[in-house]
């Protein structure tokens, strides 16, 4: 339900923009869509409690529309818009270089309503003569259509971040570059991203030419979309668009803040600036008069750091992962932002696999690899017997593995502790894969969903509740069983799941593998607000995957997670005491 309504509101925003409506009107729908998409609860439950207008960016008008859709399965306002504006125009707006004005131009002048019609018109040279168009613009549209056909949607963070970092590393090695940063939704650690934004700073803008030339000449560039002094854009061979901007060092703070986003966060920051007598853009803070007009001769303020910009506005610096207009600005105004977890806080990894099931390394090799990465303790959690495709362990093999784990733990002589556990399947009928008399012999028990993931909400919820209520289960692994971007989360009553986890002191996992990132940030935030403990684990199947922990940390930070709420930030004595108390 949430995803359906969020998409409808997003479409309404696009249609209103196509119509040329006031920016505040269509932005209200776009912000509402973002709020709904990130909600950790079903809108139906919130509506039943009368709490819709308590949500960020949801006023009475939008609450009424949500209730209308919940009650009738349709939204009359949206139906009227679709009768007025062909929905297929929204696909045209997604072509690089085509915004709402051009989409409306093509529709008004040539009756074009689909991408196919636009492509045919461009190939027949029908666009070049339109107002504001030309042969170059027409070719750019054809190129944009080809690029769109190569795209499969938003790019997972796990693919976008390494690609962006590789480009940034090359630029940082150039003598002209003083500093650089990946901005946009990657810096905010959203699980999927659209385009990549990279910023670099120089002392003198005359240094930008060699930087841009190096960027557009990289071997993985398929096509140059634009090249200039301050901004260049390319399409990589994998279809990802990357924009590089060069900023003077004196304006680094304003530029980095602006291009990090989100849009909703920036709109509110600009309003705060305006209330204080300034106009804020990506370059400077400009004094304005009582009408909001920039005072021509007044000195403008520039900022080399984001911290100094936020301080000028009376705010604490806001970590980029929080910048979604979800209460972070209000917390910054009162200097009450949380102390977010960092990678340095992690002391252990509680979820990993070895050659006993579907891992690549032995117990000893995984322990050594974790030790080299600074871990103080790990838990070996190979798959249970029902997961035959992953070489799951029978009871006999599980107990034999325990002997090996104990031996390796002793051989490590305290430099790293090695505990024995399992990632046990929650079976399709709700039963658990090992009996209680076996589970009580283990140090740590993870219960996870791997099969029958298309069951209805009632069945999935019952399975998860059965696992949470078992006194031997310490952690629910990747609770929503999503795989980005190929598999949607399971349908479950998360209100019931959270209530049970709180009651039974069962921890929930943030799985750091970028394919999962599960729990998602919005659910993690709700969990800690309820006092539910979390664990951030790599689910590593080989040594290199132990390095994925930072993705889980980024997700946790988006969820306002503090280190005290994450059990694998505790020292080994506290962790061991907790798992002992659990049994």
| pLDDT tens-digit readout, 190-235 | 999 989 999 999 999 999 999 999 999 998 888 898 999 999 999 8
CATH number of the domain at 360, please. 3.20.20.140
Report the Cα–Cα distance between both ends of the chain, in Å, rounded: 38
**Residue 373 falls inside a structural domain:** yes
* Degrees, nearest 5: CA angle 332-337-340: 140
* pLDDT band at 153; cut points 50, 70, 90: low
Together in a domain, 268 and 241: no
Q: Among 265, 300, 333, identify where a domain stops.
A: 333
**Residue 338 falls inside a structural domain:** no
CATH number of the domain at 136, please. 1.10.150.110
Together in a domain, 329 and 360: no
Percent of the chain with pLDDT over 70: 98
The answer to whether 346 touches 318, Cβ cutoff 8 Å, is: no
- Total domains in the chain come to 4
Q: Rounded mean pLDDT of 86-90?
A: 86
| pLDDT tens-digit readout, 38-73 | 777 888 889 999 999 999 889 999 999 999 999 999
CATH number of the domain at 315, please. 3.30.210.10
* pLDDT band at 151; cut points 50, 70, 90: low
| pLDDT tens-digit readout, 408-424 | 999 999 999 999 999 99
Q: Among 200, 222, 249, identify where a domain stops.
A: 249
Together in a domain, 98 and 163: no
| Highest mean pLDDT out of 113-122, 281-290, 360-369 | 360-369
Percent of the chain with pLDDT over 90: 73
**Residue 487 falls inside a structural domain:** yes
Tell me: pLDDT of 150 over 60: no
Of residues 364 and 4, the one with the higher pLDDT is 364
Q: Rounded mean pLDDT of 315-341?
A: 97
Q: Among 189, 215, 249, identify where a domain stops.
A: 249
DSSP SS3 for 475: strand
Together in a domain, 413 and 460: yes
**Residue 263 falls inside a structural domain:** yes
d(CA 500, CA 513) in angstroms, rounded, equals 25
CB under 8 Å to 161, separation ≥6 — which residues? Answer: 182, 186, 514
Together in a domain, 275 and 287: yes
Together in a domain, 217 and 245: yes
CATH number of the domain at 183, please. 3.30.460.10
**Residue 378 falls inside a structural domain:** yes
The average confidence (pLDDT) of the chain is 93
Together in a domain, 88 and 160: no
Handedness of CA 123, 125, 129, 134 (dihedral sign): positive
Tell me: pLDDT of 538 over 80: yes
Together in a domain, 270 and 138: no
Residue range(s) defining the domain that contains residue 38: 2-150
**Residue 116 falls inside a structural domain:** yes
Together in a domain, 369 and 403: yes
pLDDT in the model for residue 495: 94
| pLDDT tens-digit readout, 259-273 | 999 999 999 999 999
Q: Within 10 A of 51 (CB to CB), how many other CB atoms are there?
A: 14
| pLDDT tens-digit readout, 32-47 | 998 888 777 888 889 9
Tell me: pLDDT of 485 over 90: no
| pLDDT tens-digit readout, 105-137 | 888 888 898 888 888 888 888 888 888 888 888
Together in a domain, 236 and 265: no
Together in a domain, 501 and 432: yes
Together in a domain, 314 and 439: no
Q: Which residue has the tokens 């504006």?
A: 85
pLDDT in the model for residue 147: 65
* Degrees, nearest 5: CA angle 158-162-163: 110
Tell me: pLDDT of 26 over 70: yes
């Amino acid at each position: 339900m949430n995803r359906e309504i969020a998409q409808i509101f997003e479409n309404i925003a696009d249609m209103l923009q196509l119509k040329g409506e006031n920016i505040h009107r269509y932005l209200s729908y776009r912000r509402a869509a973002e709020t709904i998409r990130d909600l950790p609860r079903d809108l139906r439950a919130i509506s039943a409690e009368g709490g819709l207008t308590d949500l960020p960016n949801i006023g009475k008008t939008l609450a009424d529309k949500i209730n209308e859709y919940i009650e009738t399965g349709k939204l009359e306002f949206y139906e009227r818009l679709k009768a007025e504006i062909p929905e297929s125009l929204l696909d045209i707006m997604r072509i690089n270089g085509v915004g709402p004005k051009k989409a409306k131009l093509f529709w008004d002048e040539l009756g074009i309503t689909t991408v196919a019609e636009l492509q045919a018109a461009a190939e027949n040279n029908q666009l070049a003569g339109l107002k504001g168009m030309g042969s170059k613009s027409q070719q750019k549209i054809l190129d944009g259509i080809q690029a769109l056909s190569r795209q499969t949607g938003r790019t997972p963070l796990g693919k976008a971040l390494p690609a962006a970092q590789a480009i940034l590393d090359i630029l940082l090695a150039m003598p002209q570059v003083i500093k650089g940063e990946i901005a946009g939704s990657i810096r905010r650690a959203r699980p999927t991203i659209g385009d990549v934004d990279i910023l670099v700073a120089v002392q003198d803008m005359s240094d930008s030419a060699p930087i841009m030339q190096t960027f557009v000449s990289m071997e993985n560039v398929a096509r140059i979309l634009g090249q200039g002094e301050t901004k260049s854009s390319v399409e990589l061979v994998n279809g990802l668009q990357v924009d590089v901007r060069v900023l003077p060092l004196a304006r680094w703070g304003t530029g980095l803040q602006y291009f990090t986003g989100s849009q909703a966060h920036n709109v509110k920051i600009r309003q705060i600036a305006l209330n204080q007598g300034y106009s804020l853009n990506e370059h400077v803070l400009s004094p304005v008069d009582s009408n909001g007009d920039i005072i021509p001769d007044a000195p403008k303020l520039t900022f080399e750091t984001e911290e100094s910009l936020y301080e000028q506005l009376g705010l604490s610096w806001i970590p980029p992962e929080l910048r979604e207009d979800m209460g972070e600005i209000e917390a910054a105004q009162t200097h009450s932002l949380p102390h977010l977890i960092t990678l340095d806080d992690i002391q252990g990894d509680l979820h990993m696999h070895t050659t006993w099931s579907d891992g690549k390394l032995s117990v000893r090799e995984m322990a050594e690899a974790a030790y080299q990465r600074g871990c103080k303790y790990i838990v070996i959690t190979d798959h249970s017997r029902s997961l035959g495709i992953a070489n799951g362990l029978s009871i006999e093999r599980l107990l034999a593995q325990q002997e090996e784990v104990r031996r390796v733990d002793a051989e490590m002589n305290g430099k790293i502790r090695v505990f024995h556990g399992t990632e046990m399947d929650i079976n399709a009928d709700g039963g658990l894969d090992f009996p209680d008399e076996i589970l009580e012999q283990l140090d740590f028990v993870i219960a996870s969903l791997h099969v029958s993931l298309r069951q209805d909400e009632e069945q999935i919820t019952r399975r998860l509740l059965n696992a949470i209520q078992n006194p031997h289960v310490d952690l629910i692994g990747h609770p929503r069983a999503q795989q980005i971007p190929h598999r949607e989360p399971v349908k479950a009553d998360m209100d019931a799941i959270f209530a049970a986890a709180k009651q039974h002191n069962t921890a929930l996992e943030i799985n750091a593998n970028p394919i999962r990132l599960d729990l998602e940030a919005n659910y993690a935030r709700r969990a800690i607000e309820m006092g539910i403990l979390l664990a951030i684990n790599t689910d590593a199947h080989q040594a290199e995957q132990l390095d994925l922990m930072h993705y889980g940390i980024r997700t946790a930070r988006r969820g306002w997670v503090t280190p005290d709420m994450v059990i694998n930030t505790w020292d080994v004595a506290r962790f061991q005491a907790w798992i002992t108390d659990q049994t």
